[in-house]
A and B are shown apart, each in its own frame.
Chain A
Amino acid sequence: MGAGLTLRLRNELSEIRRLTAALDAFAEDEAIPSDVAMRMALVLDELLTNTIEYGYPDEVPGEIGIEAKRDGDMLMISVTDDARPFDPRKAPRPDLEQSVEDRRVGGLGLHLINTMADVDYARINGRNLVTLRLLVTSDGDGDPVAVAT
C-alpha cells in the first residue's frame, strides 16, 4: 500500500489538470481499477470546479487541500477549502426525467458527486471539510470487454 496522496491547489480552474495528473499517479500506485479511478477523478473534478467557480469572491486567492488514501476496499478522500460555507449534499436534485427542451442546463456536477460517492460535510474553523468515500470494487466496466472466440 502506498503513502497516499496529499495535494494543495490554488483556486484556479487550471489547477484541475494538476489534480488529474496527481490522481492518475495515485491510482496507478494503489492499483485502483480504471472505472473506480474515473469515478474518483470525476467526483473531485466536479467538487473542485464547483468550489473554484462559485465558492470564492472574484479575485480572492484561496487554498484547497486534498488528501486521499486507499484503505482496503475503500478510498477515503478529504477536501478542505477556505471558500464560503457549502454543503454539497444539500444541492437540489436535477429532474432526470425531463425532456431535452425542459431540462435545465447545469446542476449535474453535484448530482454526479452525490451519486458516485458517499459524501459527508462539516464546517470546521472557518473551512469546509468534505469527506468522500468510494468503494474500490470494479464492476468490470473499466476493462476491455473479453471477446469469446
Chain B
Amino acid sequence: MSDAGNQVQATIGSEWVDDVLVLKPSGRVDSNNAGSAEAMILGQVDGGAQRIVLDMAELDYVSSAGLRVLLVTAKRLRQTGGRMALCQLRPNVHEVLEVSGFLAILTVCDGREAAIGEVTKT
C-alpha cells in the first residue's frame, strides 16, 4: 500500500477569457493532491496557455506542496515568456504566501479583472 500513484485529484475549474486561461482551484491544495494540480496546470502551459490567472476565491487552504505548484508554474512561464497573476486570495492563503515570500515575487491582484489586465497588458 503505497501513496504513490494514489493521489487525490485537486479540484480546479478552468475557463478561457479571450486568450487568458482562468484557473479556479477550490478546497485544499496539499501534499495529497498537489501532484495532480501541477500536472493539470503544466499540461495547460505545455498546451499553449501563456497568460494564466489563478482565481483563488474558493481556495481554503494551501500548504508548501501547493506553493511548489505556484513556483514551478511561474518558472515554466518565465522560460516561455508567459505571464501569471493571482487574485482573490482568502486571508489564510494570503498569509501563507506572505510568510513564504511569494507576495514579493508573484503578481497578486485583488480582483479578477485586474489580474486579467496584468497578464494582457502590453
Residues in A whose Cβ lies below 8 Å from that of B3: 12-14
C-alpha gap A141/B72 in the complex (Å): 28
A13 touching B31, Cβ below 8 Å: yes
A residues 60-83 in Cβ contact with B at 8 Å: none
Residues in A whose Cβ lies below 8 Å from that of B67: 108
C-alpha gap A12/B90 in the complex (Å): 29
Cβ-based interface call for B44 (8 A): no
Residues in A whose Cβ lies below 8 Å from that of B31: 13, 16, 45, 49, 53
Residues in A whose Cβ lies below 8 Å from that of B30: 16, 45, 49
A35 touching B91, Cβ below 8 Å: yes
A100 touching B63, Cβ below 8 Å: no
Cβ-based interface call for A4 (8 A): no
B96 touching A142, Cβ below 8 Å: no
Number of residue pairs A-B, CB distance < 8 angstroms: 86
C-alpha gap A51/B92 in the complex (Å): 24
B96 touching A112, Cβ below 8 Å: yes
Q: What is the CB-to-nearest-CB distance from A104 to chain B, in angstroms, rounded to a whole number?
A: 9
Residues in B whose Cβ lies below 8 Å from that of A127: none
C-alpha gap A42/B92 in the complex (Å): 10
Which single member of B61, B65, B72, B104 contacts A41 (CB below 8 Å)?
Answer: B61
Residues in B whose Cβ lies below 8 Å from that of A141: 91-92, 94-95
Residues in A whose Cβ lies below 8 Å from that of B2: 59
In the complex, residue of chain B having the shortest beta-carbon distance to the beta carbon of A142: B91
A residues 74-117 in Cβ contact with B at 8 Å: 94, 96-101, 103, 105-106, 108-109, 111-112, 115-116
Residues in B whose Cβ lies below 8 Å from that of A96: 100-101, 104
Cβ-based interface call for B11 (8 A): no
C-alpha gap A116/B95 in the complex (Å): 10
Contact flag A108-B32 (CB < 8 Å), given A14-B6, A100-B105, A100-B106: no
Q: A35-B92, A96-B101, A105-B75 are in contact. List 6 more A-B contacts (CB 8 A).
A: A49-B30, A103-B71, A105-B71, A106-B68, A109-B63, A142-B91
15 contacts between A and B (CB under 8 A): A12-B3, A16-B30, A35-B92, A39-B95, A42-B96, A46-B63, A94-B100, A96-B101, A103-B75, A105-B75, A108-B68, A108-B100, A111-B99, A112-B100, A142-B92
